Every structure is written in C-alpha cells, then in structure tokens.
Amino acid sequence: MTQDLSAVQASDNVWEMAQRQLDEVGSLIGLNESLHGYLRVPKRVLEVSVPARMDNGGFRMFTGYRVQHNMSRGPGKGGIRFHPDVTLDEVKALAMWMTWKCALVNIPFGGAKGGVICDPKHMSMQELENLTRRFTSEISIIIGPEKDIPAPDVYTTPQIMAWIMDTFSMQHGYSISGVVTGKPLAIGGSLGRDKATARGCMYVVDEALETQGRTIEGARVAIQGFGNAGMYAATLMAERGYRVVAVSDSHGGVANERGLDIKGLVAHKSETGSVVGFTGGERTDNREVLEFDCDVLVPAALEKVITRENAPRVRASIVAEAANGPTMPDADDILFDRGVMVLPDILANAGGVTVSYFEWVQDLQANFWEEEEINERLKRKLTRSFREAHEQAKRHGVSMRKGAYCVAVARVAEATKLRGLYP
C-alpha cells in the first residue's frame, strides 16, 4: 500500500507516528493493500461525556474515550489513563500499539485503550471514585470479560480497577472479576502483576546483552522515570547484578557512576515524593539521564522523549522502552544507524499485559497461581518473543522494532484474513 509519508515524517502526532510504523513494516512483510488499510484504522472509537459529582455538591463534565483498534485475535485489552493531556489521537495510537504488543507475545487479545481528560492530582478520592464509576457506566456497553478488558495505566491504580469491577458487576447483578485486570489481590488480582512490566523489561534486556556477548554483572543502567515501572525496574535490576547509575522523575534526577543505593533511593522517594535531594549521588535532570554514560537506557516515563535532536547523544548501546512510544521515528533511524539496539515498547513493556492475561485466565478459572509460576511463565513468553523479533530483525536487516512489528503485524493480518468480513 503506497502512503504519502512526507506530512507524517514532519509531524510529531503520536497517531501518525503509530501509523507510520505500520506503513514501514507493511512493505517489509508484503502486506496486501486491503489488509493494510484495515489495520491502519481503529475498529471502534467511543467518546463519552462524563458528569461526576464533586465535593462541593455540584457536578463537573469530563471527556472520556475507549478505543478498540483490532479484535481479530480476541477481546480488546488495554489500560485506562487519567491525565489532563489525554487526546483521542493518543488513545488511538496506544490502542494500535496494544494490538501489536498482544500479538507479539502471542496472547489471545486485541488492542484497546482508554482515557479520561482530568487531573487526578487535584481530585479527592471521593471525586475519583465518582468519576470512575460514571465513566465505567458510560463505556459498559463495549467492555466485558469476553469483549474488552481494561487495566491500570497512567495515574490509575488497583483501587480504580476495583471501582470499575464493582460498577460493572452491580449493573449485571453478580461479581464479574474478569472485566478488568490489575485489581487488588483480595478481589481477583494476580500475584506478580505490580512488578510485571519491570520484570519483563529486565528479561528482554538480559536477552539483548546475551546477543551482544556481554554479561549482566556490573552493566550500567540509566532510568528516566521513577514511577511504578521505573522504580521496580531499578529494584529488580539492582538485585540481579546490574549497576543503576542514574534515575530521574518529573522533578529531576540523581546519578552516581559507582552505582546508586536503590533501596535507599526508594525510601527517599516514598518520604519526599521525588528522587531529588537523595544524598547518595549528584543532582541531574531528565535530559542528562537520557544522555548518561551507560550500557542500558530505560525510558520509563511518557511518549516522545528521544528525538532526532538528542538521539545522537544517547550513549547507551541498548535502549529498553519501558514506556509507550518514547522514541520518535526519526530518532529510531538515528539510533539504528549508530548501532544502538532499541528494544521496542511492544516488547520491552509487554510484561504488564502478559501478566494481565494470566490474571484474566485465573479469574475465568477461579484458580490462582503462585508468584514463582507466574514469573516463570512470564520469562518464557518474553524470552521467546525477543528471539522471534531478533530473528526477523536479522533476516530483514532492520531494527528490533521493525523485527517485532514483522512478527506482530503478520499474526494480526493472518487472523484478520482467516476470519474474513461479515456480512
């Protein structure tokens, strides 16, 4: 399928970025024009107005979205984010990436995503509950354990998932734990889910180092973003023998070339709300962390942080995208030309959706697994996915992102073709 990419290349629109990634891989795998066009757009876009009762007794209107990109391989799967900068294009892009992510790790889900334009930092718990329950009611027509299963994302939590589950269950008159994942353990959550994204990221970094003939012990790691994924990645990797030399959050960062005391840093973050001011290293910032002298760079914050401007200054030999869409397409090309291995988001942060799938299976079966079994299953899934993507990358002489997309897009295209069109 011939695409005019000139406008896309000049844009930083995240939806156009996601489409461009598909376009580039479509030509590699010989994707026919009809299937290409089908995969280039979402199956369903739901925009809802959400009135929520506020603490002052009045109500306020919010806008929410749920996008289902492709469900040829199974129910939709994807998080819900509460953030003031949520846009429809962002949610569409994230839904598309979820399609490829689920296909790459070969779990029977399609891609979906949701979001509400709000600032949870300035809302009380009661206001958040009111907003969550009303938003759930508005999107309940398209979600469900056999239809579309939400999960936590930016600024949403296990408690918010509990409210979604309860609201959906009350509408049906009985408990339906499988409608969401990332729930508290007490109501059907899974062991290992909280650390799954970070653990999966570590597993694929392990594999990447092995392909380069390098050892884990002492490999230097810089992490931009010290929320759930970044904090757990730092903790797990330090325990494994990596040397975490720099981290940052939205307020700033801290670095120590000899290695940071991660337990102390986590305690400092818990006490102060930021890594800034930690006495075990020198102050730095988000920009410097991306360019820090290290072996592995883990962007674990938001989208579009590695650009054509800073890509030439990235000194890591491996970039593991724990965040969604942190690398711009032009930056991707620069890093590949420089020999930097980028482990794409659909691989590097797929641990979360993989263990979400395990949670969904456990809920449906009412049979829960031990954490050791979950972690071992996760390792097998991520290790196999890395090797399949790496094989395609070598075969076509392309980046790991394109190699991963070759695997994922081919699987979704095959399922779509086999199912055909109805009516």
Write the CA distances from 219 to 223, 224, 260, integer angstroms: 13, 17, 13
Show the tokens assigned to 182: 């990332």
Placement of tokens 């890093």 in the chain: 335
DSSP H or E stretch at residue 70: strand 59-70
Which residues does 181 contact at the CB level (< 8 Å), separation at least 6? 149, 150, 151, 161, 189, 190, 193, 356, 357, 359, 360
DSSP H or E stretch at residue 221: strand 220-224
DSSP H or E stretch at residue 329: helix 329-337
Nearest to 343 by CA among 380, 282, 295, 309: 295
Q: Which of 77, 92, 101, 113 is catalytic?
A: 113
Q: What is the DSSP letter of 154?
A: T
Q: Which backbone phi and psi does 357 adopt, to 5 degrees?
A: -60, -45
DSSP E strands, 237-310:
243-249, 252-255, 282-284, 296-299
Residue type at 90 in one-letter notation: E
Are the C-beta atoms of 278 and 264 separated by less than 8 Å?
A: yes
Starting at the edge strand found earlier in the chain, the sheet holding 243-249 runs 282-284, 252-255, 243-249, 220-224, 296-299, 318-320, 341-343
Query: In the annotation, is 113 catalytic?
Result: yes
Q: What is the DSSP letter of 274?
A: S
SS3 content of the chain, % helix, strand, coil (to 5): 50, 20, 35
Give the active site residues: 113
